[in-house]
Structures are given as C-alpha cells and as structure tokens.
Amino acid sequence: MSLLPFLVVGFAIMACVSSLTTFLSALFMDQVSIHKFSLAVMACICPFMACGTALGALFFIGVRFGSILCVTPFLVLAIGTFFSAHSRIVFKNP
C-alpha cells in the first residue's frame, strides 16, 4: 500500500489548520495580512523538504528504509509548530 495518499491528506489538513489558526491569531492581534497564509503554508512545506533531503541523503549512502521514517516529517512539523507558537507574536497592551 502506498503512503502517498496519507501524506497528501495529512499535508492538506495541516495546511488548512495552520492557515486558519494563523489567520485567527492575526485577526485577534490586529495584524491581518495576506502574507500570513503564505507563511502558514510554507511552514508546512519546509519540514517536508528538509525531511525529504535528509532521507534522500540517507538512501544515497545506503541506509535501509524503516517504517519510522514515514512519520518523521509529521514529527518535525509538530515540534516546529510547538516552538513557533511561543515566539511568534507579542500582543500589544492597550
């Protein structure tokens, strides 16, 4: 069974949720911009590109495939999202 449908559906859900929550937080902070959507989507794309590069390098040098490697992009995305939530926006005091 191919993992591609799972990756595509998972990425679509992540991109939608990331865009929605980024837009809502920007709306709450009164910092709405169209670039918030591109920021949210690129924040989802970058971990997949990084994991793809790392896995490609590992396969190139002969490391065998393990099933845990299928989960790695989602783990990287979750850790990056967790850390960016704490350092993203500072609320202005009225």
Whole-number pLDDT of residue 73: 73
User: End-to-end alpha-carbon separation of the chain, Å?
Assistant: 55
Matching residue, tokens 């989602």: 74
pLDDT at 61 over 90: yes
Per-residue pLDDT tens over the stretch 5-47: 877 887 888 888 888 888 888 888 788 888 888 888 888 888 8
**Among 84, 55, 66, 76, CA closest to 11:** 76
| Segments making up each domain of the chain, as ranges | 4-87
Q: Is the CB of residue 15 less than 8 Å from the CB of residue 39?
A: no
37: Cα separation from own chain's centroid: 13
How would you write 52-71 as a 3-class SS string? HHHHHHHHHCCCCCCHHHHC
**Whole-prediction pTM:** 0.64
